[in-house]
Amino acid sequence: MKKALITLSALSTLAFSTFTLAEPEYAAIALQIDVEGTASEVWSQVGEDYCSISDWLGVDCTISEGDGEIGTVRVLAGGRITEIMVAKTPLSYGYTQPAIPGEFHNLYHGFMEARPIDANNTQLRYTVMLDVSNHADQAAKDEDLARRRATFERALGNMKAMVEGE
């Protein structure tokens, strides 16, 4: 029995030492845009419905589970992306994308908020956080982050145009 335990221990040590995982490298993209309108008016148009992402990001969205509260699951882009609401206030929500077995998990989280500036103006904030350690080099990391930044800058611009009637 002792010999079997020693062998099992040696095998597990060998197995773990042969696989080297990259050290996580977390990156955040924080964006904002000022919008004319009260925070509640702005939020009712762009964030109150968890699938309003269809309107401002141009991606199909269906709710597969839940009722718009924490734990609601939306499925985007024909089923390619799943996002689970993990936080919610009257003027914000946060979400995560779950791990997919056998694939790199980038710990993707997003947070969107309508923050009042004054009685008639609101700042929309969108933050994305993820691990970029799966990319081969700094150029690939920068390219991924630039692509995501451009996507969400466009989304914020679309939200502003929706609210302000442009």
Q: What's the pLDDT score for residue 21?
A: 61
Residues across the chain: 166
**For the whole model, what pTM was predicted?**
0.84
What DSSP element (H or E) covers 27?
Answer: strand 26-36
- Cα dihedral sign, 77-165-150-88: negative
Confidence category of residue 12, pLDDT binned at 50, 70, 90 = very low
Architecture of domain 22-164: 2-Layer Sandwich (3.30)
> What are the angstrom distances between the C-alpha of 117 and each of 36, 50, 97, 120?
10, 23, 30, 8
Q: Tell me the per-residue pLDDT of 69-96, one tens digit each, with 9 for 90 and over.
A: 999 999 999 999 999 999 999 999 999 9
Residue 4 has pLDDT above 90, yes or no: no
> Hey, where are the domains in the chain?
22-164
Confidence category of residue 166, pLDDT binned at 50, 70, 90 = confident
Q: Could you tell me which of 29, 28, 39, 66 has the C-alpha nearest to residue 50?
A: 66
Give the 3-state secondary structure of residue 155: helix
